[in-house]
Amino acid sequence: MNILTCGCFDLIHSGHIDFLNKIKGKDNKLFVLVHSDRFISTYKREPIINENDRLKMILNIKCVDDAFIDDNDYLSDETIKQYNINSVFQAVIGVSNWNYYYNNAEKQEIMNYIEYDTNKVSTTEIINKINTCNDIDYDNRYTKENILKSEKLYGMGFQSPGLEMILNTLLPNKELKNILEIGSGLGGNCLNLYNKYKCDILGLDICKSMIEICKERKYNNKITYLLENYNDFETEKKFDLILSRDVFMYINTEQLYQNLQKIKSQLTEDGTFILIDYCFGEISNKDFTDYCMNRNWNIINVSFYKKLINDAGLTVVDDNSLSQEYISYFENKELDIEMDVKENLNKKIGFLKEKSFDWHYFIVK
């Protein structure tokens, strides 16, 4: 039997392949009519891939015996005759809206509509996904509204949990002269560091709104807030403490490695780097992986983090999980926060509890 199906086959996906294999069956010849660019534009949208390239891809699918571009506005008797077609197949969702297009095939009683499995991908879905993909635009991610929403959750000056309590347990008890915070956010850590060490503090952040808020708040004139991407930050200055909390998850591994090398060059001889970051925990859970991917976070596990730090020429002198501190911080806390923030927090706490997410600190020399 000669089987025919017609379609755009724009952005070919596994749903197309499954459908073609299904209708080909055994011992049949499968012909594919590829709609022309002009025809597609009249009822859908201009295709992403042009007709010649779409044809080339279809012709290279194993189960397809022959394919051709067709610029007609309906399936003509001539085409059916030319390829000696015995059966025509079209995938539909619910009722077919292809009655005019397939009028000739219907009259010849060779038309079959088969239900498209909606659990499968569709080209429209792929395009929607591309359109809504997050990009790493900090000014969009961190709108003033979002920043202040998070601050309500984490406390004045912070975009991460624990106020100053968690960090204070990790800080060196000695005099310090110069401190750098990478990704200083709303400045809470810088202020806390100033209160403890009374020295020069440089808080650096990529997000304009964060820096603006810090400057408006005029925390202290020994603290400088700088709008800068740490990836591009160069200085001759050395720091005896560098801190980075919940920042490097926004940076890919190649860049992370370079930043770690840079940190090494910017630390004084006896300097300390305190790194706190989101890591993968010991239990793998696809939901947590998807959650991170959705946010364009580059999360790695603790042992790979340690390897990267070592490979960059630094030494991890202490490290441990802070997950319990994260969970305890929010436990039994009355929070005056919006529903979406609450849901997101509960999700994170769930991942921490099941150990797919590990909030981890590294003390590095």
Ligand X SMILES: C[S@@+](CC[C@H](N)C(=O)[O-])C[C@H]1O[C@@H](n2cnc3c(N)ncnc32)[C@H](O)[C@@H]1O
- Pick the closer one to ligand X by CB: 50 or 143: 143
Stretch that binds ligand X, among 97-105, 157-165, 309-317, 329-337 (CB under 6 A): 157-165
- Cβ neighbours for 238, distance < 8 A, ≥ 6 positions apart: 178, 266, 267, 268, 271
Beta carbons of 10 and 40 less than 8 angstroms apart:
yes
CA dihedral of residues 250, 254, 256, 261 (deg, nearest 10): -160
| Residue from 204, 274, 300, 322 binding ligand X (CB under 6 A) | 204
Distance, in Å, from the CA atom of 172 to the CA atom of 127, rounded to the nearest integer, reads: 51
For residue 191, the minimal CB distance to ligand X (Å) is: 11
Q: In whole angstroms, what is the distance from residue 79 CA to residue 81 CA?
A: 5
Does 211 sit near ligand X (CB under 6 A)?
no
326 part of the interface to ligand X, by CB under 6 A: no
The correct pick among 191, 207, 267, 309 for binding ligand X (CB under 6 A) is 207
Applying CB under 6 A, among 89, 101, 219, 230 the residue interacting with ligand X is 230
Cβ atoms of 24 and 30 within 8 Å: the answer is: yes
Q: Does 138 bind ligand X (CB under 6 A)?
A: yes
Residue 227 and residue 211 in contact, taking contact as beta carbons nearer than 8 Å: yes
**In contact, 214 and 184? CB cutoff 8 Å:** yes
Write the CA distances from 357 to 153, 275, 288, 337, integer angstroms.
Answer: 19, 16, 7, 23
Using CB under 6 A, which of the segments 21-29, 179-187, 193-201, 354-362 binds ligand X? 179-187
For residue 231, give every residue at least 6 positions away whose Cβ sits within 8 Å of its Cβ, in sequence order, or none. 251, 255, 258, 259
Query: Is 160 among the residues that bind ligand X (CB under 6 A)?
Result: yes
* Shortest spacing between CB 309 and ligand X, in angstroms: 18
Candidates 31, 89, 102, 142: give the one binding ligand X (CB under 6 A): 142
Residue 214 contacts ligand X per CB under 6 A? no
Residue span binding ligand X (CB under 6 A) among the ranges 20-28, 49-57, 116-124, 155-163: 155-163
143 binding ligand X? (CB under 6 A): no
**Site pattern 233..272 for ligand X (x: CB under 6 A):** ------------xxx--xx---------------------
Segment interacting with ligand X (CB under 6 A) among 14-22, 120-128, 182-190, 323-331 = 182-190
Answer for the pair 239, 175: CB distance below 8 angstroms, yes or no: no
Both structure tokens of 222 = 């020994």
Token pair for 206: 């990529």
Cα–Cα dist 242/194, whole Å: 13
How many residues bind to ligand X according to rule CB under 6 A? 23
Site residues for ligand X per CB under 6 A = 138, 142, 158-160, 182-183, 185, 188-189, 204-207, 210, 229-231, 245-247, 250-251
